[in-house]
Structure 1
Amino acid sequence: MQQPAARHRSTAIPSLYPPLAVGPYCTHRVIEDPEWCLATVPHLTELCLQHIAHNFEKNPILDRLLPEHRRKVLDRLSTGLPLAVTANLISDENYWKRCCTGRWQACDISNYGESWKRMFFERHLENILKCFIPNTTDPNQVLELIPLCKDYVRKLEVDQFLPPVQVDQKEESDDLSDSESDFEFGKAPVHHYDLGALITALPHLEELHLTYGVKGCGMNFEWNLFNFTHQDCSNLALAVKKCYNLKVLKLTRSKVDDDKTRMLVRNLLDHPCLVELNLSHNLIGDKGAQAVGKLLNRSRLETLNLCNNQIRHLGAQAVAQALAENSTLTSLNLRLNQVEDEGGKALGHALLTNTTLKSIHLGSNNLSEPTATIFSQVLALNTTLTRINFSCNHLGLDGGKQLLHGLAENKALTEFDLRLAEVGQETEYLIHQIVWANREAVRLGSLQHPPAEPR
């Protein structure tokens, strides 16, 4: 046992003054030790672990330590160590949790497969991409990170791409119009960072969410900052074609028009894994929708979102024609387009034969009674659809009554949105009652027959 250091030192010294009493003993003086403390001298093991943690960057010793010693070293490591040292050496989740919480305020690992290490590398890579300025930022910032993060990145969400800095700015037009063409006229196109070298080197990448634009540009706003160029589209299309494990592609709010849609589709045909495609809030018209229709039957798509585009009846008819033969799609969103009754009826006819689609959203498409008429037949015959949204249309009182009639024997529909569809309050209430009863029946059935647990 190690003993605490002595608090006092007793020294025998000759007295400077005559002794008060005659005797054989000398006078003793007690001197206080200012460095004395109750702490014991650290064990040699502790001193070694402190040294390892302090010099970890130069000499990363970890695997050769005992488990209890490794734990102590990891708890003492700085979160500012270079990733070249820690990425492939440290798998401890507590260390990466400290890295995440020390860098970002909001940290929800449920979106990252419950992995702190995955969260750190995905968000770290996303931050680099959001701040990358072509022709200014060193591309090695991204390329050197690939071998460090490639085993952990499964999803990338990049909602900003910065354009290159333009040195020679042309004089602004005297015309103060806010139209897009006025701002873009005479300006050379600006291309963004090419993701090809990156995403094709990430073997586990399954989801890619992209928006080409600049966030928070404030008074520096220009339409040119939100231009997804032909070259950008070509680079992205070639890259996703080689991402063989990609399951979800979302390219939103990026001015994707018909030509760019067709370019993307050409490279997505027969993709082995893609199950979700989201091209919402773009500029896709009928020709782009026709290309997407071809993709439906040459892919494994389960979810298709074309919300808020410029698709009219010809595009909707092309999608409907593919839907009639499709056997994989379960969700279709065409909200905020202009398919009108010609497109609505085509989609309804397709659903008379389709047996896989479960959800369709046709809100705000200028639909009226003819569409309601065909969908009343769909409700009577289709046993797969569980969700329909007709909100913000003009189905009218007669259209509402026909939907109610078709729904009379339907046991599958559990959601039916008819808000602002002008079907009448009473009809909407009766439809709601039937849908609610279907929903309760499904709920009770799931309680009586819970799904079997995976072996």
Structure 2
Amino acid sequence: MQKPAADDRSTGSLCPSQARRCITEDPKWSLTTVPHLTELCLQHIIHNFEKNPILDRLLPEHQRKVLDGLSTGLPLAVTADLVNDEEYWKRCCIERWEVCDISSYGDSWKRMFFERHLENILKCFIPNITDPNQVLELIPLCKGYVRKLEIDQFLPPVQVGQKEERDGQSGPESDSEFGEVSTHHYDLGVLITALPHLEELHLTYGLKNCGMNFEWNLFNFTHQDCCNLAAAVKLCHSLKVLKLTQSNVDDDKTRLLVHNLLDHPCLVELNLSHNLIRDKGAQALGELINRSRLETLDLGNNQICHLGAEALAKALTENSTLTSLNLRLNCVGDKGGEVIGRALLTNTTLKFIHLGSNSLSEPTTVLFSQVLAQNTTLKGINFSCNHLGLGGGKQLLEGLVGNKALTELDLRQAEVDQETEYLIHQLVWANREVARLGSLQHPTTKPL
């Protein structure tokens, strides 16, 4: 006889349909939210990347997740050589600087980061206070990426004792004594010579935003600064562009720089605008033009007179590399303008010359009328802010009639009558159109 089924409740067990559901304390918990072991491992790698940087041994898709999760605050000693991912360095740049124009850095975010990071350190470096190891330790990390440095200020040493003494005194004697205190800036020698790919160096020795603490010696490019820079540039064989502007560079410092730049193997552009260069400095630069591979020379806003212009003109008669010369805002006058014009009658290299604001008048245009009639190399001339007058304008117009090469002739504020300026503009515009159509028909093929 079959025994009746026992009551599940009497035995203390429940049938499956009556089983109680076990509810977790977290109502949102679900098996679908449990991370995979791979994800847990990747998170562990990210959190411990500084102590144990693992990247190359991971699969590509795992590397991507790790790189996306890495903090931009990791030490550069960890990330510099190991992380080449552009997205990571893009995050580093954007989080640090508001404006990031990658086109100025060869379209490389990593290069942008290291160049700007190094520039910031140098701009804030205070001699005798800032630890030099800040720069020295960065060199091996950034040397493979730095190709251009733009440093628009150098901080001088802080003379605490001298400052207190000066504040306790009054009169011109205390100011002059304080002005003699050494204010040498950071020596770039060790840095420049250790950057094998450095091609451009833009420097301004001065102080930005000094406010009420203005002192003339804060803008002093000392003789020792010049010696240090000249020696460093001489050894930087990869350097192509040197810009040293607004730094009170005078004739003596110019000659010192030139002495170290003679026969430089790569330098093609030199910018010494907005300085204190006179004729002797220009004479030294004339020698540099003949002994180097310079293609661009900018001497705008200096104090060069006709003797300096004569030295530069002599160099133009012998040089075969210089294509652009900027002499705006100098004092060459008609004596200087005429000798430059004579040089351009035989020069076959120079393409652009800027003679704006040089107190030029009709005698200079007489020579340049011949230049326009004979020279087939010049593409642009700037005579703005001079005193060419009505006769000077007509001289240029006569020379330009048969010229097919000139595409730029700036006569703004040159006292040329309106009709003559219009006719000149028409001729130059016609040359420009011919050149543009020619470039469209025969485009230049860029090397791969």
TM-score class, shorter: over 0.9
Is 1:242 equivalent to 2:238 in the alignment?
no
For 1:195, the equivalent position in structure 2 comes to: 188
Comparing 443-452 with 236-245, which one deviates more in the overlay?
Answer: 443-452
1:141 alignment partner AA: Q
The CA distance in 1 between the partners of 2:344 and 2:193, in whole Å, is: 38
Deviations 1:62-105 (A, max 9, x none): 11111111111111111100000000111111110011011111
For 1:141, the equivalent position in structure 2 comes to: 134
Deviations 1:116-149 (A, max 9, x none): 0000000000000000000000000000000000
The CA distance in 1 between the partners of 2:113 and 2:419, in whole Å, is: 53
Deviations 1:14-62 (A, max 9, x none): 899xxxxxx9999865553223523332111111111111100000111
Would the aligned equivalents of 1:183 and 1:223 in 2 still touch at CA under 8 Å? no
Deviations 1:195-237 (A, max 9, x none): 0000100000000000000000011111010000000000000
The CA distance in 1 between the partners of 2:118 and 2:17, in whole Å, is: 77
The CA distance in 1 between the partners of 2:64 and 2:347, in whole Å, is: 57
For 1:213, the equivalent position in structure 2 comes to: 206
Pairing 1:245-394 to 2, within 5 Å after superposition: 245-394=238-387
Is 1:442 equivalent to 2:400 in the alignment?
no
For 1:8, the equivalent position in structure 2 comes to: none
The CA distance in 1 between the partners of 2:205 and 2:281, in whole Å, is: 19
For 1:420, the equivalent position in structure 2 comes to: 413
CA 1:40–1:212 in 2, change beyond 3 Å: closer, same or farther? same
**What SS class does the counterpart of residue 250 from structure 1 fall into?**
strand
Comparing 43-52 with 357-366, which one deviates more in the overlay?
Answer: 43-52
Unaligned 5+ segments in structure 1 are: 1-11, 17-22
Would the aligned equivalents of 2:166 and 2:178 in 1 still touch at CA under 8 Å? no
Would the aligned equivalents of 2:370 and 2:399 in 1 still touch at CA under 8 Å? yes
CA 1:26–1:356 in 2, change beyond 3 Å: closer, same or farther? closer
2:66 alignment partner AA: V
The CA distance in 1 between the partners of 2:252 and 2:15, in whole Å, is: 113
Deviations 1:270-308 (A, max 9, x none): 000000000000000000000000000100000000000
Is 1:124 equivalent to 2:123 in the alignment?
no
Q: Of 168, 171, 186, which aligns to 2:166?
A: 171
Q: What TM-score, normalized to structure 1?
A: 0.92
Greater share of helix residues, 1 or 2?
2
The CA distance in 2 between the partners of 1:408 and 1:271, in whole Å, is: 41
1:32 alignment partner AA: I
**How many residues in Structure 1 have an aligned counterpart in Structure 2?**
435
CA 1:84–1:427 in 2, change beyond 3 Å: closer, same or farther? same
The CA distance in 1 between the partners of 2:73 and 2:105, in whole Å, is: 22
Unaligned 5+ segments in structure 2 are: 1-7
Pairing 1:21-32 to 2, within 5 Å after superposition: 30=21, 32=23
For 1:68, the equivalent position in structure 2 comes to: 61
The CA distance in 2 between the partners of 1:15 and 1:158, in whole Å, is: 88
Pairing 1:10-29 to 2, within 5 Å after superposition: none
Deviations 1:227-277 (A, max 9, x none): 000000000000000000000000000000000000000000000000000
Is 1:40 equivalent to 2:33 in the alignment?
yes
**What SS class does the counterpart of residue 88 from structure 1 fall into?**
helix
CA 1:41–1:213 in 2, change beyond 3 Å: closer, same or farther? same
Would the aligned equivalents of 1:228 and 1:256 in 2 still touch at CA under 8 Å? yes
CA 1:25–1:131 in 2, change beyond 3 Å: closer, same or farther? closer
Would the aligned equivalents of 2:166 and 2:175 in 1 still touch at CA under 8 Å? no
Would the aligned equivalents of 1:15 and 1:27 in 2 still touch at CA under 8 Å? no
**What is the aligned-residue identity percentage?**
76
